[in-house]
Amino acid sequence: MHTQVGIVGAGPAGLLLSHLLHLEGISSVVLETRTREQIESTIRAGVLEQGTVDLLTEIGVGERMKREGFVHTGVELRFDGQGHRIDLSDLTGGKAITVYAQHEVIKDLVKARLETGGEILFGVSDVSLHGIDGDSPKIRFIQDGEQREIACDFVAGCDGSQSMCRSNIPEDKRSQYSRIYPFGWFGILVEAPPSSEELIYAHHERGFSLVSTRSADVQRLYFQCDPKDSVDNWSDDRIWAELHARLDTAEGSQLNEGRIFQKGIIGMRSFVFEPMQYGRLFLAGDAAHVVPPTGAKGLNLAVGDVVVLSRGIAGFYKSGSRDRLDAYSHIALKRVWRAEHFSWWMTSMLHRFPDQDAFQNRLQVSELNNVVNSRAAATMLAENYVGMPIG
């Protein structure tokens, strides 16, 4: 088997890269260890930056997102029992975010790839890379019990936060930067209409919580918890009591309760792997960097990476020059580090740390007050939240 670009991983990065390359007339094969059903049902975050929305629309995969996604022109910061609206559109010259779940984006991308003759091999195993420092790398894997091999010009490692691909970069050629946060998020899906028209990021002495949405009858709610806690310790009654304690304001409660049909705990970390390339291997998305979910940047960073990467690969096939490809990591990392900082900053400002004392609590509230009262500070948040330009 031969293809121009072998792509490991059918997450947002791998699928979108495959489609962008297809639009440039470049062939690719996507390898995925999970099944199509698994990738299309894994619950992840759901905030798309303006640039992500524009890109998906431009390349013809934004139709359902336009119909079913929710455009939000503002976001609420809640602290000291009071809500404050950040007017994203006013502060960014008309930009907004769209709430549309990541697995819905995955479904749209898989459909678009399959309709345009794209090759996605689901359920493969034992994927390994060979010869990435030469001119003709190969990917070996097992499909239906048989050993197979793809020869390609380039390999894209889009295989997520536990990436196998990145371990192929020699240790003396790479650096890793990371931060593990001493808390996690307890996430639930609830059968009830949205409690709020916009997302609410709430600071509270008991810990952070977030009100998000999925549809006219499903809400997505989160609250900060011990990362080692178990969902079994949280009855529905206990969850609602905790959410009320953190979200009710002086005016009372606006929380719409309903049947909780999914519960899960996610860990929180920041991670960057540098450089994002070596020889003929290019990393994109979570394989190269992870952000805590507070800034809602994960999927959007993957999009930025593969836009830059697809331009570099297309430039190579058009001109024979590797110049743009060689600059990939350098260009992508600027946007990555901006999002890393923003996500860390939002996380630090809004969460309760285990050793936090009253002094630190006052500092957080003061910073939040500054963000909602200073147009300059609010603009900084809004610009980062709707997303920095790509490339």
- Which residues are the active-site residues? 72, 201, 293, 297, 385
Angle between the 102-115 and 12-23 helix axes, to the nearest 10 degrees?
30
291 counts as binding ligand PHB under rule CB under 6 A: no
Residue with tokens 């490339």, as numbered in its chain: 391
Instruction: Output 270 or 294, the one with its CB closest to ligand PHB.
Output: 294
CB of 349 to ligand PHB, least distance (A): 13
User: What is the total residue count of the chain?
Assistant: 391
CB of 110 to ligand PHB, least distance (A): 20
296 counts as binding ligand PHB under rule CB under 6 A: yes
Cβ(248)–Cβ(256) below 8 Å = no
Binding piece for ligand PHB, criterion CB under 6 A, among 17-25, 81-89, 293-301, 350-358: 293-301
The pair of structure tokens assigned to 268 is 């929180």
Instruction: Output 215 or 361, the one with its CB closest to ligand PHB.
Output: 215
Among 3, 212, 277, 364, binds ligand PHB (CB under 6 A): 212
Binding piece for ligand PHB, criterion CB under 6 A, among 50-58, 121-129, 292-300, 357-365: 292-300
Among 9, 11, 14, 46, binds ligand PHB (CB under 6 A): 46
How big is the chain by its Cα radius of gyration, in Å?
21
Instruction: Output 19 or 204, the one with its CB closest to ligand PHB.
Output: 204
121 counts as binding ligand PHB under rule CB under 6 A: no
Pairing of strands 70-72, 119-121: unpaired
250-286 burial, b at 16+ Cβ within 10 Å, e below that, comes to eeeeebebbebeeeebbebebbbbbbbbbbbbbbbbb
194 counts as binding ligand PHB under rule CB under 6 A: no
**What is d(CA 279, CA 261) in angstroms, rounded to the nearest whole number?**
46
Element counts in the chain: helices (H) and strands (E): 12, 19
Instruction: Output 11 or 46, the one with its CB closest to ligand PHB.
Output: 46
Among 31, 45, 301, 382, binds ligand PHB (CB under 6 A): 45
294 counts as binding ligand PHB under rule CB under 6 A: yes
**What is d(CA 67, CA 233) in angstroms, rounded to the nearest whole number?**
38
CB of 220 to ligand PHB, least distance (A): 4
CB of 296 to ligand PHB, least distance (A): 3
Query: By CB under 6 A, what part of segment 334-363 binds ligand PHB?
Result: none
Instruction: Output 287 or 296, the one with its CB closest to ligand PHB.
Output: 296
Binding piece for ligand PHB, criterion CB under 6 A, among 13-21, 130-138, 291-299, 373-381: 291-299
CB of 97 to ligand PHB, least distance (A): 9
Cβ(106)–Cβ(302) below 8 Å = no
3 counts as binding ligand PHB under rule CB under 6 A: no
**What is d(CA 90, CA 94) in angstroms, rounded to the nearest whole number?**
6
**How many Cβ atoms sit within 10 Å of the Cβ of residue 97?**
28
Query: By CB under 6 A, what part of segment 300-319 binds ligand PHB?
Result: none
Q: How far is CA 11 from CA 120, 228, 359, in A?
A: 11, 27, 42
Q: Tell me the residue number closest to ligand PHB, measured at CB.
A: 212
**What is d(CA 74, CA 72) in angstroms, rounded to the nearest whole number?**
6
* Phi and psi angles of residue 77, each rounded to the nearest 5 degrees, phi first: -105, 130
CB of 35 to ligand PHB, least distance (A): 23
| Direct distance between the N- and C-terminal alpha carbons of the chain, in angstroms, rounded to an integer | 33
Among 6, 14, 157, 293, binds ligand PHB (CB under 6 A): 293
Instruction: Output 62 or 293, the one with its CB closest to ligand PHB.
Output: 293
Residue with tokens 């996610």, as numbered in its chain: 266
**What is d(CA 375, CA 181) in angstroms, rounded to the nearest whole number?**
30
**What is d(CA 298, CA 291) in angstroms, rounded to the nearest whole number?**
6
Instruction: Output 92 or 212, the one with its CB closest to ligand PHB.
Output: 212
Contacting positions for ligand PHB (CB under 6 A): 45-47, 199, 210, 212, 220, 293-294, 296
